[in-house]
Structure 1
Amino acid sequence: MSVFWLALGAFAIGTEGFVIAGLLPAIAGDLSISVAAAGQLVTAYALTYAVGSPILAVALNNIDRRTVLALALSTFIAGNLAAMVASNYALLLASRMLMALGSGLCMPTALAVSVAVASPERRGRAVALVTSGLTVATVIGVPLGNLVGSLLGWRATFAMVAIIGAVALAGLLLGLPRGLPRNTASLGERLAVARHRNVLLALVITILWALGGFTIFTYFAVPLRALGFDAARISLALLVFGAAAAIGNVLGGLLADRLGTAATAALGLIGMASALFVHSLVLKFLPGQAHYAILGPIFLQGLAGWAFYPAQVASIIRIEPQASMVALSINASAMYLGFAIGGGLGGAVLAAWSPGDLGWVGGLSVTSALLVHLARGWQARPKPVKIAG
């Protein structure tokens, strides 16, 4: 039962992390800032997560895991409450950075605790249950949060997330035992894993994949509003994306087992890059039909983009099987670094060009990830043996 509360905490974190994309126009209007400036709320969150997560994990290495989880979720809840009452952009930015510190500490700790509290034969399922909290958030939490924000104002969405986080915190305080194992890697161990050549290449691929996706997802609602989507239809579009992401996550795992991680990751990147390019093509050249046609690339982006991720995770585990948790923690930081750069780049695209150009830029980034992935695979191929004579 304690793993359920870990999953609920992940659900709250996933909801807050992704729902902001649908709220940016409303936040921008309320605080009298540009949408591009509002988009830096995503960049600041992701960058704080990427940098803060490994530092906090090492700094709190010797503290009881139950206490660390309580601190992490309390920080996350406080950040949401601060956002709810923020009177200006600077305070809202600071509150999102506070949320990111809580999230970046909570998620890797929750995964480690899920393994510690589960019996050996149930550890895989325990980890899957915790990570499913993030997946379910894209399907249920994000559309629901966007709908709440449209009906009651964007501040109500932060209040909703704070309540969910508080329920998860109460459940963990009641259900988790003290004295859980403390096996967080030291900073030196993390750097040693990160210096592995194949791990470095994998991190570059993760960054480019995340950068491309968040160049456009950060400003998800902007082109939709330009097409005349109201709040209910934007929530529907978010539901389409979330459902596709959930399907893609499962499909990616199945294909990785059948086709191999390299082929599955390549297919995911090809599909995602295609979706991002088509997104811009629809907005640029089918303005009359874009209101309906835009849902196609949105679905394909979620499906292909999140089919790539489990294959990428599996490949990283194979690179460093003896330090898989460390490698995956570094990969998570790389992902959020990509989110941060993507949010900033998307804002620059909006400032210089138009929402219809976001897909071109995002697609080029994912294509770059594909090229690095293919080059890595080519270099890893066995070299032919030359026979003398």
Structure 2
Amino acid sequence: MSVFWLALAAFAIGTESFVIAGLLPTIANDLSISVSAAGQLVTAYALTYAVGSPILAVTLNNIDRRTVLALALSTFIAGNLFAVMASGYALLLASRMLMAVGAGLCMPTALAVSVAVASPERRGRAVALVTSGMTVATVIGVPLGNLVGSLFGWRATFAMVAMLGAIALTGLLLGLPRGLPKSTASLAERLAVARHGNVLIALLITVLWALGGFTMFTYFAVPLRALGFDASHISLALLVFGAAAAIGNMLGGLLADRLGTVVTAALGLIGMASALFLHSLVLKFLPGQAHYAILGPIFLQGISGWAFYPAQIASIIRIDPQASMVALSINASAMYLGFAIGGALGGAVLAAWGPSDLGWVGGASVTMALLVHLARGWQARLKPVKIAG
């Protein structure tokens, strides 16, 4: 039962991480700032997560995992409550960074705890249940949060997320035992993994993939509002994206087993780059039909972009199975670094050109990720290479 509360914590974090894409125009209007400036709320969150997560994991590696989870979730909840009360842009930006500190500490700890509390034969399912919290958030939490924000104001969405976090925290405090295993990876061990050539290439691919996706996704609602989408239609578009992402995540795992990680990752990147280019093509050349046609690229981006991710994870694990947990932790930081750069780059594109150009830039980044991926060679399997020890 304790794994369920870990999954609920992941659901709250996933909802908060992605729902802001649908709320940016409303936040910008309410705070009297540009949408590009509002987009830096995503950049600040992602950058804080990317930098803070590994540092906090090492700093708190000698503290009981139950205590770390309680501290992480409490920080995340506090950040959301501060966002509810934020009177201006600076305070909202600071609250987002506080949320990221909590989220960046909570997620890797939750995965480690799920393994610790599950029996050996159920550990894989325990990890899958926790990660499914993030996936379900894209399908249910994000559209619901956007709808709540449209009906009751964007502050209500942060209040909703704080409530979900509080429920998860209560469940964990009541259900998790004390004395859970502590983290063993030191900063030196993490750096040793990060410096390995194959890992560095994998991290570069992850950054470019995440950068391309969030160049557009950060400002998801901006072109849709320009097409006349109201709040309910934007929630529907977010539901389409989330459902596609959930399908893509499962499909990517199946295809990685059948076709191999190299082919599956390549297909995912090709589909995602195509979706981003199509997004701009539809907005540029089919303005009359874009209200309906735009859902096609949105669905394709969700299913192909998230089909890439499990294949990427599998390939990283194969580099050195003994160091896989450390490598995956660093990969998560690389992903959020890409999110941060994408949010900043998307804001620059909006300021210099317009929302219909976001897809060109995002697609170019994913294309670069594809080229780097292909440059590694069309190998069906990566040779295990010892990194640490």
Q: Quick check: TM above 0.5?
A: yes
1:123-150 Cα offsets, whole Å, 9 max, x none, are: 0000000000000000000000000000
| Correspondence 1:260 to 2:260 | yes
Q: Give 1:102's aligned residue.
A: 102
Q: Deviations over 1:26-73 (max 9, x none)?
A: 000000000000000000000000000000000000000000000000
* Cα shift readout 1:1-40 (whole Å, capped 9, x = no counterpart): 0000000000000000000000000000000000000000
Q: Distance in 2 between matches of 1:213 and 1:9?
A: 24
Is the contact made by 1:135 and 1:245 (CA closer than 8 Å) also made in structure 2? yes
Distance across 2 between alignment mates of 1:379 and 1:127: 28
Which whole-Å CA distance do the structure 1 matches of 2:378 and 2:273 have between them? 21
Q: Tell me what 1:55 maps to.
A: 55
1:332-380 per-residue CA deviation (whole Å, 9 max, x = no partner) reads 0000000000000000000000100000000000000000000012599
Distance in 2 (alpha carbons) for counterparts of 1:240 and 1:284: 22
In structure 1, stretches of 5+ residues that fail to align are: 383-389
- Give 1:227 deviation, angstroms: 0.1
Any conservation in 1 of the 2:212–2:361 contact (CA below 8 Å)? yes
1:62-101 to structure 2, matched below 5 A, reads 62-101=62-101
CA shift in 2, pair 1:281/1:67, >3 Å: same
Whole-Å Cα distance in 2 between the matches of residues 377 and 352 of structure 1? 37
Q: Report the count of equivalent residues.
A: 382
Instruction: Report the secondary structure of 2:243's partner residue.
Output: helix
The CA deviation at 1:267 is 0.2
Structure 1, residues 84-122: CA drift from partner, whole Å, max 9, x if none? 010000000000000000000000000000000000000
Match of 1:18 in 2: 18
1:146 counterpart residue number:
146
Q: Distance in 2 between matches of 1:257 and 1:355?
A: 38
Q: What does 1:195-274 correspond to in 2, within 5 Å? A: 195-274=195-274
Identical counterparts, % of pairs: 89
* Partner-residue secondary structure (3-state), 2:376: helix
**Partner-residue secondary structure (3-state), 2:377:** helix
**Partner SS, residue 190 of structure 2:** helix
Q: Alpha-carbon deviations, 1:175-201, whole Å to 9, x = none?
A: 000000012411000000011100000
In 1, Cα distance between equivalents of 2:344 and 2:298: 21
- The equivalent residue for 1:327 is 327
Q: What is the alpha-carbon root mean square deviation over aligned residues?
A: 1.1
Cross-structure match for 1:158: 158
- Give the corresponding residue for 2:344: 344
Residue identity opposite 2:238 in structure 1: L
The ranges of structure 1 where at least 4 consecutive aligned residues each deviate by more than 3 angstroms after the TM superposition are 378-382
Question: Given the alignment of the two structures, is residue 189 of structure 1 paired with residue 189 of structure 2, yes or no?
Answer: yes
**1: CA distance between counterparts of 2:310 and 2:13?**
19
d(CA) in 2 for partners of 1:56, 1:185: 12
Q: Point out where structure 2 has 5 or more consecutive residues left out of the alignment.
A: 383-389
Q: Which residue identity does 1:5 align to in structure 2?
A: W
TM-score of the superposed pair, with normalisation by structure 2: 0.97
Q: Is the 8 A contact 2:147 2:231 kept in 1?
A: yes
Residue aligned with 1:377, SS = coil
Distance 2:144 2:184 in 1: 35
* Conserved? CA contact 1:57–1:184, under 8 Å: no
Q: Which amino acid aligns with 1:196?
A: H
